[in-house]
Amino acid sequence: MAWFILIIAGIFEAGWTLGLKTTEGFTRPLPSLLTITAIVVSMVLLAQATRALPIGSAYSVWVGLGVLGATLGGHLLFGEPLPPLRLAFVGLLLVALVGLKWTSPSG
């Protein structure tokens, strides 16, 4: 269950990261409120997951999922470039996240 919670936390991590772009420096109220809410949810879920998972693995996966989501979301939502080499490195990150899951105690 801890891994599931961590994945949801990572999704919120990517969500608030992408949300930062829409807040225009926290000058737009609704996007700012949604982004701040996503930050809080992400942190609370990360804290919950670390009760059962090693902090190094949990934090790495949380940040990694945020990076994956922000990179792919930035490309899909904002038209940011995603050249093949960058995509290859994102793929390597995904492999690393799976490796952390496989080599960490289950929670």
Q: What average pLDDT score do residues 95-107 get? A: 83
Answer whether residue 107 shows pLDDT above 60.
no
CA 56 from centroid of its chain's CA atoms: 15
State the pLDDT at residue 27.
Answer: 97
pLDDT of residue 106: 67
Q: Which residue is it, tokens 């093949």?
A: 84
Q: What pLDDT score does 105 carry? A: 75
Tens of pLDDT along 58-89? 999 999 999 999 999 999 999 999 999 999 99
Q: What is the pLDDT of residues 40-61, one digit of tens each?
A: 999 999 999 999 999 999 999 9
Sketch the domain layout of the chain as residue ranges.
2-103
**What rounded mean pLDDT belongs to the chain?**
94
Q: Does the pTM of the predicted model rise above 0.95? A: no
